[in-house]
Every structure is written in C-alpha cells, then in structure tokens.
Amino acid sequence: MTIPLGLNMPCPKEFEHLPHTADVIVVGYGETLEEAFANAAKGVFAVITDVKKVEPKECREVEDEADDLEQALYKWIDDLLLYFDSEGLVFSKFEVKLEKKEGKYLIKGRACGELFDPEKHEYGTIVKAMTYAEMKIEKVGDCWRVQFVVDI
C-alpha cells in the first residue's frame, strides 16, 4: 500500500516495496532528491538482504552523467547493482550528490557495505536489473518520492 503524502508532511519512511506482478516496485523517500535517491538504493539492497546486518566496511564511488533525472536514477542504481554482480558487495549506507551542469545531470555517489556472507546475511531475492518501468520522480509537499521496478 502506498502511503499518501500531503502538503507539508514529512517523509513517511526511507523506502518501501510495493507488490508487482513478477518483480518488485521500490519507492524511495527523502527530504531532498539526493536523499530519495540514496533511500531508493537502500530499498534495492533490502530486496537482496537485510541491510541492517550490512556493515559499511568497504566503499565504492559512482560517478556518471545523465540527460535527465530518470536516466540519473537508472544509472545510479544500475552502477550499484554492477558492484553486487561483479564483486559480491551489498551496501547499507549511501550518499548522493546531483548537479545540473550544461543541460546534463552529474551524479556523484558513494555506497558503503561489505561482501555478501551467507553466514551473516540473509538471502533475499536476487535483483537482476534496474528498469524504467513505472518510474516516477516527484515532489509531494515537503517530500521527494522516487519509484521504479527492479527485475527479479
């Protein structure tokens, strides 16, 4: 169930997962757009494992350029999933900076976590890919909300 957002209401939570036919809808909330991007990333990794058990031992940097906010969100999440696929890293702490320069969005981010350890981390559902499906980026009252589907 989506939490209704009204004018001048604080963000209801960091993220939530909504039901979808065969995949997962991730919704990230934040007082700033950057915070919503960070919380959306946390929501993606919460599909994979319990992020409360992931210690921020190793960090990876993400730097990218996008034509619009939707592409910026896509690239941010896609780059993080690449670290999971290639290095086995799961993340729990995220920082994002967005800047619009010369008609492009510059994304600079940092994700911290550790190698997935089946003895420590619970198996959730493997996220195969980020998608543009049902993607929304909107500000409602005082809260930013970003939404998208991940392929599982």
Does residue 5 fall inside a structural domain? no
The string of pLDDT tens digits covering residues 68-114 is: 999 999 999 999 999 999 999 999 999 999 999 999 999 999 999 99
Does residue 1 fall inside a structural domain? no
Q: Known binding site for Ca(2+): residues?
A: 23, 151-152
Q: Report if pTM > 0.85.
A: yes
Does residue 117 fall inside a structural domain? yes
For 61, the 3-state DSSP assignment is strand
Does residue 4 fall inside a structural domain? no
Does residue 99 fall inside a structural domain? yes
Average pLDDT, the chain: 92
**Polymer length of the chain:** 152
Does residue 8 fall inside a structural domain? no
The string of pLDDT tens digits covering residues 46-78 is: 999 999 999 999 999 999 999 999 999 999 999
CATH number at residue 33: 3.55.10.10
Q: Known binding site: residues?
A: 23, 151-152
Q: What is the pLDDT of residue 16?
A: 76
Q: How many domains does the chain have?
A: 1
CA dihedral over 109, 133, 50, 33, signed as positive or negative: positive
Domain of 73 in residue numbering reads as: 15-151
